[in-house]
Amino acid sequence: MAKKEKHIIGITIGDINGIGPEIIIKSLADGRLLNYLTPVIYGSSRTLSYYRKLLKYDDFQVFHLKEGQTPNPKMVNVVDCWEDTAEIRLGEPHKQAGERALKALNKACDHLQEGFIDALVTAPVNKAMMQSEDFSFPGHTEYLGKRFEGEPLMFMIAETLRVAVATGHIPLAKVPQALDQEKLIKTIKAMKKSLVRDFGIGKPRIAVLGLNPHAGEVGLLGKEEQEVIEPAIRHFKEKNDLVFGPFPADGFFGSGQFTHYDAVLAMYHDQGLIPFKSMAFGRGVNFTANLPVVRTSPDHGTGYDIAGKGKASYSSMQQAIWLAHDILKTRKETAG
């Protein structure tokens, strides 16, 4: 395999008190992955050593990457993002862990901006423990939008289902005010662009959900469908784009209608993520679309209740690593 094709994938360690270190070690323990990509973990060699011993992964070895060195393509590389020994409190939310997670994220993003790594995979964090003067965001998605000067789109990806959300991490009470025709048009354009550029789908079919029960029941249960969502859909139909809806969310997923579309746009977070996680939890990936860089993450949280017990599934983390690799390849193909 040509050197240029073997992408360097940065992986942040996440919350060191959660399952992040465990699922990273488990995902990278199979050396066959190194045939296709070069992983660089951002965190702490000492923390990884602690978990390696705890989980009895004695064969898991890493290359300590010093400043100015090139990643070793035959090994798992580690960039130490803090000097001191971080106290690990298994399963416990703690401010120190949030500070460490932010250091790893900042360093990885520095390297992503510099082109040192080709893509970023982020392990789960506790956003509340990360809040500070340097991090006042509801999540990775918003942080990356600010860092890379874009309008990020949360895109949940699984084998048979792709779901984007129009309003992201905001309180449910604020969703109707946050929806307008211009926002929906921009979001659908971003979805279409991503489906073409990142997934190689030439003429994507996009389904749009309604906001209200029964998609408003012709105005009886709400006016947003008639006043906001339907005009946005017409905008694309007039351009012969394959955008359909608005569909009542319950029937759309319950009847399997989603299988006829390349992607689904939900109006708010739980409307899209509850059916997605019901069908694909542990296999899905959170992809931040509509940015110049590639970032993916597992579809779950810190898993404090099982931290350090060897029970955490690494399936979603491994899928996130592979998806970052695949999107890089597809972007290169679609750009050419």
DSSP 127-141: HHHH-SSS---SSHH
CA distance linking residue 99 with residue 209, whole number of Å: 38
Which pLDDT value is given to residue 160? 86
Residues 265, 209: contact at Cβ < 8 Å? Answer: yes
Do both 148 and 296 map to the same domain? yes
Q: Which amino acid is at 296?
A: T
CA distance linking residue 51 with residue 40, whole number of Å: 17
CA distance linking residue 202 with residue 259, whole number of Å: 17
Which of 77-81, 186-190, 212-216, 243-247 has the least mean pLDDT? 212-216
Which pair of tokens denotes residue 321?
């690593």
CA distance linking residue 106 with residue 331, whole number of Å: 25
For range 157-183, the mean pLDDT: 93
Do both 19 and 143 map to the same domain? yes
Do both 8 and 141 map to the same domain? yes
pLDDT level of residue 83 (50, 70, 90 thresholds): confident
DSSP 183-233: HHHHHHHHHHHHHHHTT--SS-EEEEE-SSGGGGTTTTT-SHIIIIIHHHH
For range 10-20, the mean pLDDT: 97
Q: Phi and psi for 151 in degrees, rounded to 5?
A: -115, 90
Higher local confidence (pLDDT), 336 or 23: 23
| Whether pLDDT at 2 is above 70 | no
Share of the chain above pLDDT 90, in %: 85
Which pLDDT value is given to residue 218? 78
Which pLDDT value is given to residue 5? 62
| Whether pLDDT at 136 is above 60 | yes
Do both 42 and 25 map to the same domain? yes
CA distance linking residue 272 with residue 269, whole number of Å: 6
Number of independent structural domains in the chain: 2
Q: What is the mean pLDDT of the chain?
A: 93
CATH number (domain holding residue 158): 3.40.718.10
Do both 15 and 98 map to the same domain? yes
Do both 115 and 175 map to the same domain? no
Do both 31 and 146 map to the same domain? yes
Do both 253 and 162 map to the same domain? yes
Do both 131 and 7 map to the same domain? yes
- H or E stretch at 286: strand 285-289
| Whether pLDDT at 230 is above 50 | yes
Containing structural domain, residue 161 = 154-289
259-291, pLDDT tens digit by residue?
999 999 999 999 999 999 999 988 899 999 999
Half-sphere exposure of 198 (CA within 13 A, CB side): 27
| Whether pLDDT at 191 is above 90 | yes
Which pLDDT value is given to residue 261? 98
| Whether pLDDT at 4 is above 70 | no
| Whether pLDDT at 74 is above 90 | yes
Looking at the chain, which runs of residues are DSSP E strands?
7-12, 37-43, 62-64, 76-80, 119-122, 153-157, 162-165, 205-209, 242-247, 263-266, 285-289, 295-298
Residues 39, 9: contact at Cβ < 8 Å? Answer: yes
DSSP H helix total and E strand total for the chain = 12, 12
Compute the residue count for the chain. 336
| Whether pLDDT at 85 is above 50 | yes
Q: Phi and psi for 76 in degrees, rounded to 5?
A: -80, 125
Do both 52 and 30 map to the same domain? yes
Residues 52, 58: contact at Cβ < 8 Å? Answer: yes
| Whether pLDDT at 73 is above 80 | yes
CA distance linking residue 298 with residue 318, whole number of Å: 8
Which pLDDT value is given to residue 95? 95
For range 154-178, the mean pLDDT: 93
Residues 16, 43: contact at Cβ < 8 Å? Answer: yes
Indicate the SS3 state at residue 103. Answer: helix
pLDDT level of residue 1 (50, 70, 90 thresholds): very low
Which pLDDT value is given to residue 3? 44
Do both 162 and 25 map to the same domain? no
Q: Report the alpha-carbon angle 260-266-269, nearest 5.
A: 135
Do both 180 and 105 map to the same domain? no
Which pair of tokens denotes residue 231?
């005009």
CA distance linking residue 244 with residue 209, whole number of Å: 9
| Whether pLDDT at 165 is above 70 | yes
Other CB atoms within 10 A of residue 218 CB: 9
